[in-house]
Amino acid sequence: MKIWIDADAAPNDVKIIVAKAALRLKVETALVANQRLQIPANNPFVSSVRVEGGPDVADDHIAEHAEPGDLAITADIPLAARLVEKDVSTIDPRGTEYTRENIGERLSVRDFMDQLRSTGVETGGPQAWNPQNKQAFASTFDRVLTKLMRAAQKKVAKKGPTDLSSGP
């Protein structure tokens, strides 16, 4: 299991919450961005991946490398749709979990708003990230991460001890 953060636009508080959990639970975490990132000192579980600049390059990296059972954090709805399709648990920095049940609607609304903006309609942007968003993110992150950790432990328990002997 690995945690992926679409780090170009992720609030610093999100990165801090995830880094603390990564250290506490010993979960590999990658911050992916097209710029240089500060990673927490003394945390061997957090790394950064710097990709070339350009549209969707960080998104493409995450989508190509994330695997079922991983957790991704992104505000990018098209990336979230790609990840959900791959069975990668995905949440946004405001605490919304994207699922097969809701991603289609989220993507449709996003595309509709994009079309409105392309015709000159001012739609405004998202509200500034606030303490309620931080609390909602922390709660959703904890719930989803706990579910993934339990699933990973069950998978290991089902495999049982590995027989490494080469004899009959």
pLDDT digits (tens, 9 = 90+) for 83-95: 999 999 999 999 9
Phi-psi region of 98 (alpha: psi -120 to 50; beta: other; left: phi over 0): beta
Mean pLDDT in the chain?
88
Enumerate domains of the chain plus CATH numbers. Answer: 2-157 (3.40.50)
Residue 96 CB partners (closer than 8 Å, separation 6+)? 140
Q: What is the pLDDT of residue 163?
A: 46
The count of other CB atoms within 10 Å of the CB of residue 4 is: 28
Both structure tokens of 93:
């920095």
Q: What is the pLDDT of residue 117?
A: 64
pLDDT at residue 167 is higher than 70:
no
Q: Write out the H or E segment, with its range, that includes residue 16.
A: helix 12-25
